[in-house]
């Protein structure tokens, strides 16, 4: 019940295209859903995050769509660029005082072709 | 944004020795820090929650005597891998919860290789 399932495992997108990564969770107590970007040999960096009281959040080229009833959320990267090539992790946590304790999805390796 | 620094970035040690990894929050005080472990091409697995001034809380299956965590100040948590073995070789990453908004900021990670 603590798992966060992420798909696809890998994704190849042409430059300018839309990258879509999906995550699903079981624990309805989760109330914070961030997305992280990780480059090889580096720690993850927060991209964007959402709480269940909204269905969508957009920051620049990155959008999170959240479906509370389906317990699913997704990351959309618009106008994907080669510099976006990285591994992306969705995550979830619960408890407003403990958003650092994150349960991560399995990760998606994104390759954006020039 | 807030900065979390890990040291060292990489370390090679001999089997049987102990290695200490430091995690510092440079521009904020963190009462809670977290330690994760990541194997190649895999996700981050939470090892333990480090609370300033108290004992760490370990996740199921993580040996507390193997992975010693100390959170002696509001800006520093350390992870000591004791009696390291080759199977302990991994990427260790810490994060710190910012007191405002409780967002987690990650260090750059430490690559541990035990030979």
What's the confidence (pLDDT) of residue B53?
84
Q: Which residues of B touch A102 (CB under 8 A)?
A: 34, 44, 46, 95, 104
Of the candidates A42, A49, A107, the beta carbon closest to that of B108 is on: A42
Is the CB of A43 less than 8 angstroms away from the CB of B93?
A: yes
Of the candidates A41, A45, A109, the beta carbon closest to that of B106 is on: A45
Disruptive mutation site among A3, A34, A100 for chain B (greatest number of B CBs within 10 Å): A100
What's the confidence (pLDDT) of residue B1?
66
Q: Is A107 left (phi over 0), alpha (psi -120 to 50) or beta?
A: left
A48 close to B (CB below 8 A): no
The three state secondary structure string of chain A is CCCEEEECCEEEEECCCCEEEEEEECCCCCCEEEEEEECCCCCCEEEEEECCCCCEEEECCEEEEEECCCCEEEEEECCCCHHHCEEEEEEEECCCCCCCCCEECCCEEEEEEC
What's the confidence (pLDDT) of residue A18?
98
Distance of residue A114 Cα from the nearest chain B Cα, in angstroms: 23
Query: Using an 8 Å Cβ cutoff, are B43 and A105 in contact?
Result: yes
Rounded Cα gap, residues B111 and A74, in angstroms: 30
| Per-residue model confidence as pLDDT tens digits over A28-60 | 989 889 999 999 999 999 999 999 899 999 999
Is the CB of A102 less than 8 angstroms away from the CB of B95?
A: yes
What's the confidence (pLDDT) of residue B48?
94
Using 70 as the pLDDT threshold, list the residues of chain B that sit under it. 1, 101-102
Rounded Cα gap, residues A21 and A76, in angstroms: 7
Q: What is the mean pLDDT of residues A71-99?
A: 90
């Amino acid at each position: 019940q603590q798992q966060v399932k992420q798909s696809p495992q890998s994704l190849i997108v042409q430059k300018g295209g839309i990258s879509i990564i999906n995550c699903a969770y079981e624990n309805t107590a989760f109330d914070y859903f961030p997305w992280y970007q990780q480059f090889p040999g580096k720690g993850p960096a927060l991209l964007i995050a959402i709480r269940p009281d909204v269905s969508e959040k957009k920051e620049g080229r990155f959008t999170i769509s959240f479906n509370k009833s389906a317990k699913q959320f997704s990351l959309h990267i618009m106008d994907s660029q080669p510099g976006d090539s990285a591994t992306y992790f969705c995550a979830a946590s619960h408890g407003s005082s403990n958003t650092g304790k994150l349960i991560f999805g399995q990760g998606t390796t994104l390759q954006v072709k020039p | 944004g807030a900065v979390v620094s890990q040291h060292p970035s990489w370390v090679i040690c001999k089997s049987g020795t102990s290695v200490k990894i430091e995690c510092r929050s440079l521009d904020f005080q963190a009462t809670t820090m977290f330690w994760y472990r990541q194997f190649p091409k895999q996700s981050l697995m939470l090892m333990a929650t480090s609370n300033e001034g108290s004992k760490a809380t370990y996740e199921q299956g993580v040996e507390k005597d193997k992975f010693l965590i100390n959170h002696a100040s509001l800006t520093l948590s350390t992870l000591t891998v004791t009696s390291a073995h080759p199977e302990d070789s991994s990427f260790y990453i810490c994060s710190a919860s910012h007191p405002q908004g409780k967002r987690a900021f990650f260090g750059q990670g430490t690559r541990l290789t035990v030979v």
